[in-house]
């Protein structure tokens, strides 16, 4: 008998509902994944009861002998997997990890961060004006070329002119390989720190299907819950190059995380990160990473056959960005209709988008979660076909530009979509296929 069921029926029911949803749909949000039951066991363990402010062997509370071992194990596994001399595993999540790096190295309102523009696929914490990173620091964004690619010449020109203290590379919505070597050369020319935020592609790097930034960046941050398949969390790594540039870098980062930004670390989360890292050391993880990319490439090629316009014309990693403007369908409408068909992805801005962020022109989708369930090329072909059928079904639904008309339109559109027979029949087929692939 479930203890939760007797203690809190409402939460129990909601969790069961969410579990059912996760089983029945195709989760294609590229930043999501399914953790293993081993990771969840660590996450739900007694380690959640402990307070352990400080670092191993230097805690502010008693009773941390076991926690010290857990944290040191997580650090040792990360160091080995990434080939770095230092790692901090205490940041609560990706955004606090990036915040800690800025707090460690920058003077607020004076120093400058240069990162990929949010509207072009950068993360909020890479200097977006709506985030602390753009409010408390000076920023200079870089964009993508009109082909949707990183333009290293332009980035170098801007960096030399603006002289940012930190250059951030890494993205939230970039479907291609990132040339970390070029970024490293640019940062060295300018004298900047290079921060590689590999949150999205960390599993691909460990799996050997995306180059690693470790030889070129001074600091590497990553979330642990995306392609790495761990719990929500993050790691901050300092490379040999980073220590050479600033021998105090590791101390500065440790101090920025605690006591600078956080209190006690989430020890259950640290243990779960350690488990995920152990799983990522296994040979099967390499196969998994390879299959993520293979699936993404096949899906991209199939979508192109249906006339979809892909930003950068394809995908080298786990992610695809579709510009729907040639299909005359808005990204928000597409994401809604696809969810009604049990295909879950997100609306997303495309480079030089003329639409507002809530109604962007594109959608973003990826293969990490589906690959965890064991889906392969055959399933990707079916999915491309379903995506095309759904988009064809809502073609011609024009989103009014006027705000009030837009909200009235939405209400009617939503009702129409959930009653659409074609979409309902696709939803049934999708669910049937999804249920053939179990969750880990």
- Span interacting with ligand PLP, options 92-100, 276-284, 328-336, 388-396, rule CB under 6 A: 92-100
- Span interacting with ligand PLP, options 89-97, 311-319, 337-345, 411-419, rule CB under 6 A: 89-97
Could you give the residue numbers annotated as active site? 51, 53, 197, 223, 226, 232
The dihedral over CA atoms of 213, 254, 173, 26, expressed in degrees to the nearest 10, equals: 110
Q: How far is the CB of 16 from ligand PLP (least distance, A)?
A: 25
Q: What residues from 118 to 137 belong to the interface with ligand PLP (CB under 6 A)?
A: 123, 125
Query: Are 351 and 144 a contacting pair, CB within 8 Å?
Result: yes
Sheet of 346-348, strand order = 309-310, 319-323, 362-366, 346-348
Judged by CB under 6 A, the number of residues near ligand PLP is 13
CA atoms of 242 and 63, how far apart (whole Å): 34
Query: CB nearest ligand PLP: which residue?
Result: 94
Q: How far is the CB of 318 from ligand PLP (least distance, A)?
A: 12
Q: How far is the CB of 105 from ligand PLP (least distance, A)?
A: 17
How many C-beta atoms surround the C-beta of residue 38 within 10 A? 14
Decide: is 250 part of the binding site for ligand PLP (CB under 6 A): no
Decide: is 202 part of the binding site for ligand PLP (CB under 6 A): no
Beta bridge partners of 144: 150
Q: How far is the CB of 131 from ligand PLP (least distance, A)?
A: 10
Q: Is 239 exposed, middle or buried (0-12, 13-18, 19+ CB in 10 A)?
A: buried
Decide: is 94 part of the binding site for ligand PLP (CB under 6 A): yes
Q: How far is the CB of 132 from ligand PLP (least distance, A)?
A: 12
List CB contacts of 37: < 8 A, sequence separation 6 or more. 440
Q: How far is the CB of 124 from ligand PLP (least distance, A)?
A: 7
Q: Is 402 exposed, middle or buried (0-12, 13-18, 19+ CB in 10 A)?
A: exposed
CA atoms of 329 and 306, how far apart (whole Å): 14
CA atoms of 385 and 368, how far apart (whole Å): 19
- Print the binding letters for residues 30-69 with ligand PLP: x by CB under 6 A, - otherwise: -x--------------------------------------
Q: Is the dihedral of CA 242, 285, 300, 325 positive or negative?
A: negative
Q: What residues from 149 to 178 belong to the interface with ligand PLP (CB under 6 A)?
A: 170-172
Burial 140-157 (b: 16+ CB within 10 A, else e): bbbbbeeebebebeebbe
- Span interacting with ligand PLP, options 175-183, 197-205, 296-304, 373-381, rule CB under 6 A: 197-205
- Span interacting with ligand PLP, options 93-101, 146-154, 186-194, 301-309, rule CB under 6 A: 93-101
Decide: is 139 part of the binding site for ligand PLP (CB under 6 A): no
Decide: is 231 part of the binding site for ligand PLP (CB under 6 A): no
Contact residue for ligand PLP among 45, 93, 262, 385 (CB under 6 A) = 93
Query: Are 374 and 437 a contacting pair, CB within 8 Å?
Result: yes
Q: What residues from 328 to 347 belong to the interface with ligand PLP (CB under 6 A)?
A: none
Query: Are 30 and 202 a contacting pair, CB within 8 Å?
Result: no
- Span interacting with ligand PLP, options 157-165, 181-189, 192-200, 430-438, rule CB under 6 A: 192-200
CA atoms of 107 and 256, how far apart (whole Å): 13
Binding site for ligand PLP (CB under 6 A): 31, 93-95, 123, 125, 170-172, 197, 199-200, 223
């Amino acid at each position: 008998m479930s203890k939760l069921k007797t203690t809190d029926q409402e939460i129990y029911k909601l969790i069961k509902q969410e579990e059912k949803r996760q089983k029945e749909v195709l989760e294609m949000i590229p930043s999501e994944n399914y953790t293993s039951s081993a990771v969840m066991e660590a996450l739900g363990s007694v380690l959640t009861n402990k307070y352990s402010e400080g670092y191993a062997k230097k805690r502010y509370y008693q009773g941390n002998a076991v926690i010290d071992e857990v944290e040191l194990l997580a650090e040792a596994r990360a160091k080995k997997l990434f080939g770095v001399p230092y790692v901090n595993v205490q940041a609560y999540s990706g955004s606090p990890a990036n915040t800690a790096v800025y707090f460690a190295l920058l003077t607020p309102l004076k120093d400058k961060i240069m990162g990929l523009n949010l509207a072009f696929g950068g993360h909020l914490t890479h200097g977006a004006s709506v985030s602390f990173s753009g409010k408390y620091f000076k920023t200079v964004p870089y964009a993508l070329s009109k082909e949707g690619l990183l333009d290293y010449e332009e980035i170098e020109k801007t960096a030399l002119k603006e002289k940012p203290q930190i250059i951030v590379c890494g993205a939230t919505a970039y479907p291609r390989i990132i040339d970390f070597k070029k970024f490293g050369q640019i940062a060295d020319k300018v004298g900047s720190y290079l921060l590689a935020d590999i949150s999205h592609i960390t599993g691909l790097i460990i799996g050997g299907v995306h180059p690693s930034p470790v030889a070129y960046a001074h600091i590497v941050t990553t979330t642990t819950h995306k392609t790495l398949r761990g719990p929500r969390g993050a790691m901050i790594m300092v490379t040999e190059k980073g220590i050479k540039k600033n021998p105090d870098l590791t101390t500065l980062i440790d101090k920025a995380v605690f006591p600078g930004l956080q209190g006690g670390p989430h020890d259950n989360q640290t243990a779960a990160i350690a488990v995920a890292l152990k799983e990522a050391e296994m040979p099967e993880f390499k196969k998994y990473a390879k299959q993520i990319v293979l699936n993404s490439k096949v899906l991209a090629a199939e979508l192109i056959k249906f006339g979809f316009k892909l930003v950068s014309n394809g995908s080298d990693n786990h992610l695809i960005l579709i510009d729907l403007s040639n299909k005359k369908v808005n990204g928000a409408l597409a994401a809604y209709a696809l969810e009604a068909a049990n295909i879950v992805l997100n609306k997303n801005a495309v480079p030089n988008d003329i639409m507002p962020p809530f109604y962007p022109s594109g959608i973003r989708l990826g293969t990490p979660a589906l690959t965890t369930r064991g889906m392969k090329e055959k399933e990707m072909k079916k999915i491309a076909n379903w995506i095309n059928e759904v988009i064809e079904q809502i073609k011609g639904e024009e989103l009014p530009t006027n705000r009030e008309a837009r909200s009235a339109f939405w209400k009617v559109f939503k009702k129409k979509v959930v009653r659409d027979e074609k979409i309902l029949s696709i939803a049934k087929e999708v669910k049937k296929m999804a249920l053939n692939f179990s969750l880990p």
